[in-house]
C-alpha cells in the first residue's frame, strides 16, 4: 500500500479481539495484520451496504490501542458508515473483528 494513499486509524479494542487478529496474521508477510483489519472492515461495510442486519454490542472493559493504516477510500467508507449509524469506531471495529474471526 502506498503511504501517500493511506491514512492512519487509531482503534481501541479489547485485547482478546486484537489477539485473534494477531494470531490469524502470524507467519504471514509483513503488513498482514493491517491487511486483515482492512479485510474485516471491508467485509462489514459490504454486509451493511447489502442490508444485512448487524448488531453492534456496546464494548466494555479494558482495551488496547491499535493503529492501522488503511487506504483513503476505506477510511472514507468507514467514516460515512459511522456517521450514518451514529456509531463509535470501537463498536464498529469490534463487530468487524467478531464477524471476520469468530470466537471458536
Q: CB-based contacts of 93: which residues, under 8 Å, 6+ apart?
A: 11, 13, 17, 37, 41
Full-model pTM: 0.90
Query: What is the DSSP annotation of the chain?
Result: --GGGEEEEEEEE-HHHHHHHHHHHTTSPTTHHHHHHHHHHHHHHHHHHTT-----PPP-S--EEEEEEEEHHHHHHHHHHHHHHT--HHHHHHHHHHHHS---
Q: What are the sequence ranges of the domains in the chain?
A: 8-100
pLDDT for position 77: 97
Block means of pLDDT (10 residues each) for the chain, 104 residues, are 72 92 93 95 97 89 92 96 94 95 84
pLDDT for position 87: 93
Amino acid at each position: 500500500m502506498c503511504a501517500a494513499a493511506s491514512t492512519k486509524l487509531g482503534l481501541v479494542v479489547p485485547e482478546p479481539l486484537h489477539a485473534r487478529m494477531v494470531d490469524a496474521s502470524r507467519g504471514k508477510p509483513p503488513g498482514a495484520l493491517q491487511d486483515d483489519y482492512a479485510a474485516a472492515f471491508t467485509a462489514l461495510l459490504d454486509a451493511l451496504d447489502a442490508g444485512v442486519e448487524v448488531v453492534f454490542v456496546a464494548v466494555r472493559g479494558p482495551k488496547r490501542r491499535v493503529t492501522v493504516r488503511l487506504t483513503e477510500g476505506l477510511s472514507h467508507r468507514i467514516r460515512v458508515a459511522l456517521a450514518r449509524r451514529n456509531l463509535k469506531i470501537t463498536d464498529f471495529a469490534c463487530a468487524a473483528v467478531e464477524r471476520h474471526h469468530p470466537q471458536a
